[in-house]
Structure 1
């Protein structure tokens, strides 16, 4: 893959993927899209665009990409852990992995933006990626999601995200540590409530409790810190990042910022000087997004994190919880919104529901159930992910693979005669799964995943489980005095 730069900035050196360590760019990216169209001089927007570094992405090499929803834009926001150039002041790190990974889902027809955090501690099924001029490539294996970028670059990470989520990715952006500081400083700081005194030498954080305006250096330390706040986990840090994103969006979209051409121009100049994008993310594309998204209300900008739990094979890592994660991705992939309440059927519909062919029985204890998981969807690695979740709940996993023949239309747990209680236990762990007797298959039940367990092949609507908690940009988690 090759990179190119506007001639106006050809002499400026910058590492690909040197980026914001903890999610502030998500606020920046969305905000720039929302208000970029507010620049009165279109030529000024072109001038600012000339600052951006770009990288070529071979879209043909991504394989079969998920279906694209017309009018929707999904941007992969990455923050690299590489420490070079100006970023060397923030420690050393081997290789290049995303410290932050987010899907920014922009839906003009719904007047909304949804920012989905994919935690860096996620253990997932990584796809095969070829070697590049600077990367060794990788065979398909299970590892932390960021290894895809370290082994195969941005293109491999792009492929990984699409295969794991079933969400069509249109573009990517990244930003560096020092650029983030400049963005905050161009706004005159970001107002935050700090609930208690915070000190984290590793993140260069030293803040007193109370309402205050954080400058760029303080903001960077606040969103980078893991050990001064909460339980020190990446999930706890993501919650703080989302809080900061909301505060930054409120500041950028405030009357003072938008009414000052100088402040607005300085802010967008800081944004573009600090990012790398794919080569198809043109100024016209950015302008189109800005025009269609600039009326989005802050209450319609949502922050969510992929539902997750402790990985069964590593207590220091997490696994995405199924089917909750797939239902979230289904909503994003099909642009059906983040309605966390399933629609209620009316009484007439309820009366017409057929009786089950076989009465349910009390489910067996998970430890008594041996199950194989077969992936009948086009989501790579889904069988392994659901198998890990079932194993964490106590089920005995006898293997994973693909089904023989065409998969059923609905996720089904097949069982031999007399083992319905075993199948019932598995079905209850997967909402909407059905149970069917298949004499002669033996003492191990067979779970076959169908289209209702992933995005592109799912229903046209997506009611999300209660575990998906969306926080909008107007929310303030902390209150001072």
Structure 2
């Protein structure tokens, strides 16, 4: 027969409640000894007395010791079991192992801190050394630089003394690239500035731009470029042929898409085939010097821009400290106001450079020979139009860029010989016909004058671009708005001068 376990009785409940009260903190109260009937004459007379609801505990407290006032609580482990557990060897080894782990953890933390400090000090020293190598030294370039506005595009002037293999014009060995850098939009716009541009320097004399450093240092060069292009230069960098060769070697070669075969004896003995090429140091210098292309200085400007971007892209393509290492190793090859940290930040902002937008152009104008020396005549209106586009962050609108896509077949041309050389008009007419123009007549000028320069004359704004295209294709000539001063029935009139005979 089954039975049920009975619940607690009333007496059991009271006993349990009383025992719990005896064990709780606060179940004792303080009583003054003076309240006791036999207080006088007792050792504890006049002192405070701790009283418990349990009489035995009260008597022990009166004798001067209270050994427990917290709740009574026991675990499932007896004192004997606890003693046996703590006396075992494994327990001791566990305590020792935990102590070793704590000491090891503390040691690791200290070691990491020491290494972090050492790395920071090493990196700081590394960058300090790189910055000292990059320094402009005694250059006065910083006197002419203008700090850019925060977050806005800015301009940098990059110069290189390339040297020449066999080049009668010493100025041709200088390369000047102004770069508009828009980090936010990741757009780079290169403007090649021919060193043969004639400028008035601080000595009051007219010189080619390549003489600026000799007259007034890097600051003079920066000032002249700023005045020419109408921009403020924020950064400056300078290198030479040896420095470029070192940078190419550090990058392991520079990949460049060569649009036209490079075969210029004045630039170097290397012949570089058209197509994708990885250039070594000698080939790179040849590419940068070469100018005997169908588009002349325009093609040279594009080659220089592509090389610069691809060299930077090669250097920044690695991860971690690889770019910093290249900066450190190549610092002696470049002088600049940029610090190592600024260059790394610039590389990070533009990375990957292969996906950045890159424009390239040359200051519009033409090379001309005067008194046996080459000079570069700037087309002022075209330059202003181009720089408006550059400052706005758009593709440069140079004369060469505009005329490249013009339909020559829609342009009618008349050619007259003013050079004094028999057959010049017929020869020029044949060349223009080959280029696609509609040549409607050739002949001689009526006044018998010998013209020193070729004039390409147009009437009406709609024919200005056609005249510029003729100048570009002839590699000679000056564009003239004829107005009512010249009589002709075609879109363009070409009067051949002695300069075209020399160029041809």
TM-score, scaled to structure 2: 0.47
- Larger-gyration structure (1/2): 2
Give TM-score scaled by structure 1 length: 0.49
Higher relative contact order (CA 8 A, sep 6+): 1
